[in-house]
Copies of this chain bind each other. A is one copy, B any other.
Amino acid sequence: MIDWDDVRYFLAAARGGSVRAAAKRLGVNHATVLRRIAQLEERLGTQMFEKLPSGYRLTPAGDEVLELAIQMEASSHQLETRVFGRDQSVRGLLRVTLTPILATHLLMPDFAEFARLHPDIEMEILSSGELANLTNREADVAIRVVYDRKTLPLNLHGLKGPELFGGVYLSRERLAALREDVPDPIRWIVISMHGIPEWASEGEVRTTGAPFRVTDAAAEIAAVRQGLGITTLPCFVGDADPLLTRVPGADLHMYGTVWLLTQGETRKTKRVRLFTEFISRRLTAYTPLLRGLSVSRE
């Protein structure tokens, strides 16, 4: 009889493309992955990988195994979510994934209050890097900004939140200096991956020089606060920052819509229900801020 857990190692290796990548994902030593795959191949009597110097590549036999391994994984994930869905206690873990910018500039105070209200709920905020996969039960709740509703995964249950508008911002100091005709260059600050949105206009400000590229939103905000130039920001970031102000003459445009996403089984949980209801109320209250209506036109 084969060891079912070996299939899990196989799956990681098939996806990672190499033993070492799989080991990293699984959080184990690469020698372990090596051994378990060798064991599975021996027990099945088939070679599932071509062992190249550049990594592992699936053989035709491995392709077939992969298909069934994915099935096993699906069952395993369902198993976990079903068990978790039965858990109606207030104690326990609740994992939330969202974009870093929403976490740091909007919702962290609400998370804090929720944590105060429910001290028995152990919370984990996953706001680093890529969006966690709900179906894999890497997280229980996802808060995402959706640009096109069609991109919403169908297997998730969505709760639509307020719409999110963005505008063009620069530092108040810089704007004041402009009116005094100080001829410093004003640059477009852009996140390398995204670039400048089509709707962004420079308004009454003229940019000069090459774009200033940063890798993430945190650096973007830091740059614009330093008066380096202008950039597009969600209104809730720009309007809430006392150092920043909107570029006169530049219009607001819709960014996307905030969605609260949960998965079928896990959303039965009391913890998840409490959290989504709480955050949903808060998001509703934030509607003016998110739409950019919270500041009077200057």
Contacts and interface: CB of A to CB of B under 8 A. Distances in A.
B7 A79 contact: yes
Nearest to A78: B68
A87 B60 CA distance: 12
A29 B22 CA distance: 31
Interface in A14-48: 26, 44-46
Interface in A55-110: 60-61, 64-65, 68-69, 71-72, 75-76, 78-80, 82-84, 86-87, 92
A174 interface: no
Q: What's the number of copies of this chain in the assembled complex?
A: 2
A5 interface: yes
A267 interface: no
A124 to B, nearest CB: 15
Nearest to A69: B79
A159 interface: no
A3 interface: yes
A205 B7 CA distance: 64
Q: Is the interface of A mostly helix, strand, loop or mixed?
A: helix
Contacts of A3: 5
Interface in A204-260: none
A166 to B, nearest CB: 38
A86 to B, nearest CB: 5
A68 B87 contact: no
A291 interface: no
B5 A45 contact: no
Q: Which of A2, A84, A87 has the most CB of B within 10 A?
A: A2
A8 interface: yes
Contact of A61 (B69, B72, B86): B86
Given A75-B71, A79-B69, A86 B46 contact: yes
B68 A75 contact: yes
Contacts of A64: 79, 82-83, 86
A278 to B, nearest CB: 22
A61 to B, nearest CB: 5
B76 A45 contact: no
A12 to B, nearest CB: 10
Nearest to A70: B75
12 contacts: A1-B26, A7-B79, A44-B79, A44-B84, A45-B87, A46-B83, A64-B83, A65-B83, A68-B76, A68-B79, A69-B79, A72-B79
